[in-house]
Structures are given as structure tokens and as C-alpha cells.
């Protein structure tokens, strides 16, 4: 059977070792004669699991003590609503950097709850997408928060330099690059991420909130989205997605075994460099993102014209390379190479791309 490499943008592949462990203990977790998904989230065994997962995540990201780690529901978009609702009492406006589809989505949702200002926007310069850098003087120092998305999954645009928002809390959507490289958590007010790329299966989102921002929620905020309540209840005000949390815990352990985010960041950089090199060295493929903003997680590229797309998708699937079709808004191809994608998968893809280009020129 052909080895399958799954380049899905999300839900994305999980490490094989994690899936095998989950399979081995699927019916009988910790010799309880039951699956972990069949036990109460209030049992001492599950509470221990939840606390271990939180501690492992704290270790991996070096989360300072003055931050709460919440395991929430509602994915990335759930936080598009939860963030403005939870910070609305700080001020009735928020500032945004627009770098692609997901930051636009966050702005659209936030505008239901407060006034929104666009401080900077992605532009095309010489055919390449470029994101302006943000300094404190551009940010309204009276706004509730400043929001940006550190990795635009659709366009394949990653922002490596943390914007300077001055004293305004920085809120970041890290759904598609959390845990891919070290980050300085202390620079942020709120970090949130849907789980289904680098954390685990969908159904879960992780929110890291600085303590002083826990209690600015507008009164209408649904209780289960309220940060302070979530923190008070150890993320168990309502029944959490227990199986997703369990799998996230296995992914955190796996990541620690790999050497943590510092080590995986090196592998991620190598994987991305291989793929961009393949694109740049050919006169067949084209990436339209300025090198400073090329994503290490989602590599987007176009073929000479869209007529080649169907053949590329068909032949790549036949070669065991799945889910390479680009997002419908941008077209072309997208290879998502999150933490779980082994470098062998990237080698298999570059070999296929070179061969395809030779045959279709």
C-alpha cells in the first residue's frame, strides 16, 4: 500500500505515536475497564489527566504564573466572539491588523460587540503579499485590545515579529502556529487557538489569558464563555470535550519527547525551507508571499495556470499525498506541514512536485 501523507489544513494529521497510544487504550483506560471518554470529568482520574495536560502545555510554552490556561469549546471562531465579549468593559473599541481571511473573520465578529479600527492591512507589493509592522503610536492606546493572527492558514502568511501595541493588551489568534516555535507569552494579553492543527482533534480550543484581563466581560457574556468563570471552574463549568482534551494531553507528551517547541521549531524550519526551495527553484510553481511572511505551517503555491490544478490534485492523491487543494478563496495548492508532518512527507511532496513539473511543462 502507498504510504499516505496528509497535508490537510485542519483537522490535520496527528502524530502516529499518539494515535497508536490512543488506540491501545481506547477501550480500557488506566485499567478502569472503560474508555477515557466514558468516565466523569469530575472523577479524580480525569482531573489528574486534565491537570497534567495543562502543566505540560505550560511547560512547553513556558507560560508565566500570572496567566490562566483555559481549555474551552467552540474552536477558533468561538474565541472570535469570546474575546470581544470578555474584554468589552475595558473599552468599547478594539484595534486590528488585517493579514488575511482569519483576522478579517475575527474583526467581523468583534464588530458585533464593539467598535473596530483597522490599524494595518496586508498589501500586494511587486506581486508579493506583505504585512506592515505595527508600532505603539499607531494603536489607539484607549482601545480594549489589539488583535492579530500570527499565521493566516488560508493565505499561508505568518507574522514573526510581534506587533508593538504599547500598553494595549495584545490578543493573538495562534490557531495554526501555536506550539510550532517558542513564543514569549509575557508579551500577550490573550493567546487563543483552535486545537485541530498542532494541539489535537477539533472540539477544543486553548486560551491563555493574563490574570488582570479575566474580569472585563460584558454582562451578556454567556457564562460558559466567561474567562473568570472558566478559570474558577478549572475549565469545567460545563462538561468539557473530554476525549479531545485527553488527546491534546497525549500530543503535549509527544512534543516533550521530541525535545519541545525549541527542537520541533528547527524541524519545522527545515521542512518549510525544503518546500519553498522546491517552489523557488522551479519555473513552474509560484508562491505569492514575501519571504519575510512565508508561513512555516501552510505553504501555498500556484501552478502556471489553473488548468493544471485538477491533474495535480488527481496525481498527488494517487501518489499518496492528500489534501493539497488550496482554499477556495485563493485557489492553487496548499501544503499544511504542522508539527506532526514528518520530514519524509515533505521529501515525498517535493519529489512529486519536481516530477509533475517535468511531465507537464
Interface segment toward ligand PMP; rule CB under 6 A; list 36-44, 171-179, 302-310, 337-345: 171-179
Q: For residues 101 and 322, which CB has a smaller minimum distance to ligand PMP in the complex?
A: 101
Is residue 149 near ligand PMP by the rule CB under 6 A? yes
Could you tell me if 152 and 327 are in contact, meaning their C-beta atoms sit under 8 angstroms apart? Answer: no
User: Does the annotation flag 66 for ligand binding?
Assistant: no
- Partners of 361 in the β-ladder: none
For residues 183 and 174, give the distance between their C-alpha atoms in angstroms, rounded to a whole number. Answer: 11
Catalytic pick from 29, 68, 95, 197? 197
Is residue 326 near ligand PMP by the rule CB under 6 A? no
User: Does the annotation flag 76 for ligand binding?
Assistant: yes
User: Does the annotation flag 42 for ligand binding?
Assistant: yes
Is residue 241 near ligand PMP by the rule CB under 6 A? no
Could you tell me if 166 and 141 are in contact, meaning their C-beta atoms sit under 8 angstroms apart? Answer: yes
Query: Rounded to whole angstroms, what are the CA distances from 359 to 164, 201, 244, 312?
Result: 48, 38, 43, 11
Min separation Cβ 8 and ligand PMP, Å: 10
Catalytic pick from 29, 68, 173, 254? 173
User: Does the annotation flag 238 for ligand binding?
Assistant: yes
Q: For residues 177 and 350, which CB has a smaller minimum distance to ligand PMP in the complex?
A: 177
Q: What value does the CA radius of gyration of the chain take, rounded to a whole number of Å?
A: 21
Q: Please provide residue 92's backbone torsions phi and psi, each rounded to the nearest 5 degrees.
A: -100, 25
Catalytic pick from 29, 68, 102, 245? 102
146 Cβ contact list (under 8 Å, min separation 6): 94, 95, 96, 97, 119, 134, 139, 163, 165, 168, 169, 170, 171
Q: For residues 46 and 102, which CB has a smaller minimum distance to ligand PMP in the complex?
A: 102
Among 102, 246, 284, 356, binds ligand PMP (CB under 6 A): 102
For residues 288 and 175, give the distance between their C-alpha atoms in angstroms, rounded to a whole number. Answer: 22
Interface segment toward ligand PMP; rule CB under 6 A; list 169-177, 259-267, 322-330, 335-343: 169-177
- Partners of 151 in the β-ladder: 158
User: Does the annotation flag 215 for ligand binding?
Assistant: no
Among 88, 175, 181, 244, binds ligand PMP (CB under 6 A): 175
Among 194, 201, 241, 332, binds ligand PMP (CB under 6 A): 194
Among 81, 138, 176, 235, binds ligand PMP (CB under 6 A): 176
Among 61, 173, 227, 252, binds ligand PMP (CB under 6 A): 173
The question of whether 167 is a catalytic residue gets the answer no
User: Does the annotation flag 153 for ligand binding?
Assistant: yes
Interface segment toward ligand PMP; rule CB under 6 A; list 56-64, 129-137, 168-176, 207-215: 168-176
Could you tell me if 189 and 213 are in contact, meaning their C-beta atoms sit under 8 angstroms apart? Answer: yes
Is residue 201 near ligand PMP by the rule CB under 6 A? no
User: Does the annotation flag 196 for ligand binding?
Assistant: yes
The question of whether 173 is a catalytic residue gets the answer yes
Binding-site residues from annotation for L-glutamate: 42
Chain residues in the site for ligand PMP (CB under 6 A): 10, 75-77, 102, 149, 153, 173, 175-176, 194
The catalytic residues are 102, 173, 197
Amino acid at each position: 500500500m502507498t504510504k499516505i501523507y496528509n497535508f490537510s489544513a485542519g483537522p490535520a494529521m496527528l502524530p502516529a505515536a499518539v494515535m497508536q497510544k490512543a488506540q491501545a487504550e481506547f477501550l480500557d483506560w488506566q485499567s478502569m475497564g472503560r474508555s477515557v471518554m466514558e468516565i466523569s470529568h469530575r472523577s479524580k482520574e480525569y482531573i489528574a489527566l486534565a491537570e497534567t495536560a495543562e502543566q505540560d502545555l505550560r511547560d512547553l510554552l513556558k507560560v508565566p504564573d500570572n496567566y490562566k490556561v483555559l481549555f474551552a469549546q467552540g474552536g477558533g471562531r468561538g474565541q472570535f466572539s469570546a474575546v470581544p465579549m470578555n474584554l468589552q468593559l475595558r473599552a468599547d473599541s478594539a484595534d486590528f491588523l488585517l493579514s488575511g481571511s482569519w483576522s478579517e473573520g475575527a474583526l467581523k465578529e468583534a464588530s458585533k460587540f464593539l467598535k473596530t479600527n483597522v490599524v494595518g492591512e496586508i498589501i500586494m507589493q511587486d506581486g508579493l503579499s506583505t504585512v506592515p509592522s505595527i508600532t505603539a503610536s499607531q494603536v489607539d492606546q484607549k482601545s480594549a485590545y489589539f488583535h492579530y493572527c500570527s499565521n493566516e492558514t488560508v493565505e499561508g502568511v505568518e507574522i514573526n515579529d510581534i506587533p508593538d501595541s504599547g500598553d494595549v493588551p495584545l490578543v493573538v489568534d495562534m490557531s495554526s502556529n501555536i506550539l510550532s516555535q517558542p513564543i514569549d507569552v509575557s508579551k500577550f494579553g490573550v493567546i487563543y487557538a483552535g486545537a485541530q492543527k498542532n494541539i489535537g482533534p477539533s472540539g477544543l480550543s486553548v486560551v491563555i489569558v493574563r490574570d488582570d484581563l479575566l474580569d472585563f466581560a460584558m454582562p451578556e457574556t454567556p457564562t460558559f464563555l466567561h474567562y473568570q468563570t472558566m478559570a474558577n471552574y478549572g475549565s469545567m463549568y460545563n462538561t468539557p470535550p473530554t476525549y479531545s482534551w485527553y488527546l491534546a494531553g497525549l500530543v503535549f507528551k509527544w512534543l516533550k519527547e521530541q525535545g519541545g517547541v525549541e527542537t520541533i521549531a528547527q524541524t519545522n524550519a527545515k521542512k518549510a525551507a525544503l518546500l519553498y526551495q522546491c517552489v523557488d527553484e522551479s519555473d513552474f510553481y509560484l508562491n505569492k508571499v514575501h519571504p519575510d511572511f512565508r508561513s512555516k505551517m501552510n505553504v501555498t503555491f500556484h501552478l502556471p495556470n489553473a488548468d493544471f490544478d485538477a491533474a495535480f490534485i488527481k496525481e498527488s492523491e494517487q501518489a499518496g499525498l492528500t489534501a493539497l487543494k488550496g482554499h477556495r478563496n485563493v485557489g492553487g495548492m496548499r501544503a499544511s506541514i504542522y508539527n506532526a508532518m514528518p520530514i519524509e512527507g515533505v521529501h515525498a511532496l517535493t519529489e512529486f512536485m519536481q516530477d509533475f513539473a517535468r511531465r507537464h511543462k
